[in-house]
Amino acid sequence: MKKKLYLTMIAVMMSMGLSIAQAQNPECMTNLSIYAEHAKVKNYDAAYEPWKMVYDNCPDINKANFSLGERILKHKIKNSSGADKDGYIQDLLALFDNSLKYFPTKFPKAGVAIDKTLLMYDNKMASDEQLFNMLDKAFKEDRDNFKNPKALYLYFSSLVDLHNAGKKDLQSVFDTYDDVTEKVEEENKKLTAVLGKILAKEDAGTALTSKEKRQKKAATVNSESYGKISGSIDSKLGALADCGNLIPLYEKSFESKKGDITWVKRAVGRMFSKECTDAPLFSKMVEVQAELDPSADVYVYLGTLKSKNGDNKGAIADFNKAVELETDSYRQSNILYKIATIVRKNSKSQARNYAQKAINANSANGKAYLLIANLYASSANACGDTPFNKRAIYWKAAEMARKAGRVDPSLASRANKTASSYAQRAPDKTMIFNADMGGKTVTFNCWVGGSVKVPSL
């Protein structure tokens, strides 16, 4: 009978997620409650001792030992120095490792590896090689959960530093650059998709729920973070990716790599983005990609080559073929944007049409809004018969630039600066007063069309 009762107790405890050792130590539950309450109000000094007791004796009693324990130890690290600080750092590193040991399904491998790496980086405890190896392992083993913007930048930055020190070759830099930028784009795509639905509801005049407000704020902040590190990653790559480096590298590897479609697509894409399209190698690799994978991108490249050779009709046909072949609306939007940037050299109105199609395919394509803004701003002299009317186009350009940052916060910094610059070129209060145009409408009789309402004084 006693044995049966004992087994029943074990079953109950297991169903509650408690171990036998924990049940034999009721202090764990008491101290868990105490430190959780202190941590809730950010009184981490008071939380430390009860947390330490539970963590040391009953580590698997609750996930809070690790989620709240991290906050407690970070507070101790921040507010200590010398040997005490070093001890808390080591405790936190051990806590990260133990989180995977006791709660492997609650803490993703990449997240834990990132936490450890950033802690070591912030406290100057690791070399570039160690930092890169830790992050490279985490990225390759758990790419889905590798989302931290700072870690993504550090992953690439440490590799470039190793290359500059002669420890990594240039191809590995390009490969990792592609991996990291693709990841940034993936994550920002998810965020702008969430934001797009919320903005559509907001624009329709429907009040947002408290949950949607939180989602909007989180998506905006995180997207802005990805935008910042994206620019930093490009800056770090710098001159390493100019045509002078790309062409010799790809010429050297072409024969051995021309059957590798991933290598070919990335190489062609990079040469295209860096405007190395005049090189004979570019045309050669486009032909190889067309044979291996006759996708939408190939027709963008073919259209670009025709456009450079003055065959605008053939270029447009290839561009439209690219759009037809692409079934994913997000990628289709990117292709339409690429086309818009190319045809703008010959026709601003045609460029706007493609940019608008890009927006129709993906309402979060902020780059397309920025392109339209630039097209408007560059048309000031052609869109008015008076100085006032000519400068009025900048209001319209600023409006489009602001939209870019709203739909894609990763572009917010650039979009806001652009909008501010255009707004400053628009008629000031003195001009509005002298022209007696306050609150009136200016109509554009050029390719831009439409109108803009002048601010009231």
Closest CA to 60 of 4, 95, 19: 19
CA distances (Å), 231 to each of 61, 162, 221, in order? 43, 20, 16
Query: Please, are residues 285 and 271 in contact by the beta-carbon 8 Å criterion?
Result: yes
3-state class (DSSP) for residue 162: helix
Residue 173 lies in a domain: no
In a domain? residue 337: no
Dihedral of alpha carbons 91, 97, 100, 106, sign: positive
Query: Does residue 387 belong to any structural domain of this protein?
Result: yes
Report helix, strand or coil for 104: coil
Cβ neighbours, 10 Å, residue 363: 22
Helix ranges restricted to H, 326-442: 329-343, 348-361, 366-377, 387-407, 412-425, 429-435
Distance CA 156, CA 173 (A): 8
Q: Is residue 282 part of a domain?
A: no
Per-residue pLDDT of the chain (457 residues; tens, 9 = 90+): 444 433 433 343 444 444 444 445 789 999 999 999 999 999 999 999 999 999 999 999 999 999 999 999 999 999 999 999 999 999 999 999 999 999 999 999 999 999 999 999 999 999 999 999 999 999 999 999 999 999 999 999 999 999 999 999 999 999 999 999 999 999 999 999 999 999 999 999 999 999 999 999 999 999 999 999 999 999 999 999 999 999 999 999 999 999 999 999 999 999 998 889 999 999 999 999 999 998 899 999 999 899 888 898 899 899 999 999 999 999 999 999 999 998 898 899 999 999 999 999 999 999 999 999 999 999 999 998 899 999 999 999 999 999 999 999 999 999 999 999 999 999 999 999 999 999 999 999 999 999 999 999 8
Asked if residue 347 belongs to a domain, the reply is no
Q: pTM of the prediction?
A: 0.86
Amino acid of residue 447: W
Looking at the domain assignment, is residue 382 inside a domain? yes
Contacts of 350 (CB under 8 A, 6+ apart): 343, 344
Residue 18 lies inside a defined structural domain of this protein: no
Structural domain contains residue 17: no
Nearest CA among 331, 283, 287, 289 for reference residue 308: 283
Those residues with Cβ within 8 angstroms of residue 415's Cβ, 6 or more apart along the chain or in another chain? 366, 369, 370, 401, 402, 404, 405, 406
**Structural domain harbouring 384:** 364-457
Q: From residue 386, how far is each of 184, 374, 395, 412, 450 by CA, in Å? A: 45, 21, 16, 33, 17
